Amino acid sequence: MCRDAFAPISGVMTALHPDAAAPFVLDSHIDIPWPDRGDAWRDTPARQVDLPKLAQGSVSAACLAAYIPQGLRDADGHRAAWARVQAMLSTIRDIAVRPADAPQIAVSVCDSTNAIAAARAQGAIAIILAVENGYAIGEAPERVAVLRTYGVRYMTLTHNGHNALADAAIARADLGDAATLHRGLSVLGRETILQMNRHGVLVDVSHASRDTMVQAVETSAVPIVASHSCARALCDHPRNLDDGQLDMLRESGGLIQITAMPSFLRKGGGGTLVDFVRHVAYVADRIGINHVGISSDFDGGGGIDGWRNAQETPRVLEALRAHGFDDTELAAICGGNFLDRLKRAEEHAGQA
């Protein structure tokens, strides 16, 4: 395994009262059904993730993303995207309100690492808000401050298709995209990253083009993350990060969360939990254990043989242990590394 000079913030995992029998597990990217169906508290086959499945799968923390589909880069498109993201974030923020007939599950919506640690101490599932696609803020970087008031902790710069902020890894011909629009980040994109740094919102480069990712590393004062991507050396997909990008994560203190998307794990699709562990191990070997984590992308296309829904999350830990990762390494992979980057974003925002 790669010897890594990067050192996690002291005490981050200690605050979570680690227990070998009940490790802290954070899934860094889960979509929510939209329009909302009011079924988050029901164990339903219509969802890969609901609160009962999170509890049954011993998931300690879940990042729920407000996904904003890419549309036209015009005033109407931006207006609709801004309205949708606020509606979705409001729904996520209200998830802790337990219906009268719902099961007894402790849930806490958390906007800081201290809140996540408090939820852990109380035996509550921590819900962390995220935004998928910077299209949500249109051409207004100052809206990052508004997103933070909702509790948002990370935002992907793009989804599929270029937006006003940055080029995406996958252009959208149906929206009139050329291969590149900005050659990476736009001026607005660079200002948005500065706003994200200022407000403690992590810069997420999943879905971003290679140029966008490289420029984001150079622009951000806080380590960046890829909340749901895989290793391109093992599966040549434009959504994955190549070895040069992985090396940039090591050098900058960044993090990649390997995701359970079949087509990102194995060329042509059909990826399994075995492939998932292989990607985790590849990244750990190349750039160090402190730069890799896990995500499912459930209810957004994720789900593989061995990890079909949140209830099956213990199988991921079992597979990682079987590969040879010890308890300390599992603590880092399964949540400690992502928590560390959240803490770094908070500390930088406190100094801004």
pLDDT on residue 147: 98
Q: Which pLDDT does position 20 carry in this prediction?
A: 46
The span from the CA of 25 to the CA of 84, in Å, is 29
In a domain, 1, yes or no: no
**What mean pLDDT is predicted for residues 45-74?**
98
Q: What's 258's DSSP letter? A: E
Q: Is residue 268 part of a domain?
A: yes
Per the CB < 8 A criterion, the answer to whether 250 and 287 are in contact is yes
Angstrom distance (rounded) from CA 42 to CA 306: 23
What percent of the chain has a predicted confidence (pLDDT) above 70? 95
In a domain, 242, yes or no: yes
For 93, 207, 299, the CA distances from 40, given in Å and listed in that order, are 12, 27, 12
- Please indicate, yes or no, if residue 127 is contained in any of the structural domains: yes
- Taking all residues of the chain, what is their mean pLDDT, rounded to a whole number? 96
- Is residue 50 scored above 80 in pLDDT? yes
Q: Judging by DSSP bridges, how do beta strands 225-229 and 125-132 pair with one another? A: unpaired
Whether residue 266 is predicted with pLDDT greater than 90 in this model: the reply is yes
**Residue 5: inside a domain:** no
19 pLDDT above the threshold of 60: no
What are 318-342's pLDDT values in tens digits? Answer: 999 999 999 999 999 999 999 999 9
On whether residue 2 sits in a domain, the answer given is no
pLDDT confidence of residue 351? 85
Neighbours of 225 (CB within 10 A): 29
In-domain check, residue 87: yes
Number of domains in the chain: 1
Model confidence pLDDT, tens digit, residues 274-300:
999 999 999 999 999 999 999 999 999
- Residue 295 bridge partners (DSSP): 259
What are the Cα distances from residue 179, in Å, to 167, 172, 176?
Answer: 9, 9, 10
CATH number at residue 194: 3.20.20.140
- Residue 225 belongs to a domain: yes
Q: Does the pLDDT value for residue 3 go beyond 90?
A: no
| pLDDT tens track for 171-203 | 999 999 999 999 999 999 999 999 999 999 999
Per the structure, the complete domain to which residue 251 belongs is given by 14-351
- The pLDDT, as a whole number, for residue 7 is 73
H-assigned helices in the chain: 51-56, 75-93, 113-121, 143-150, 187-199, 210-219, 243-252, 262-265, 273-287, 313-323, 327-331, 337-351
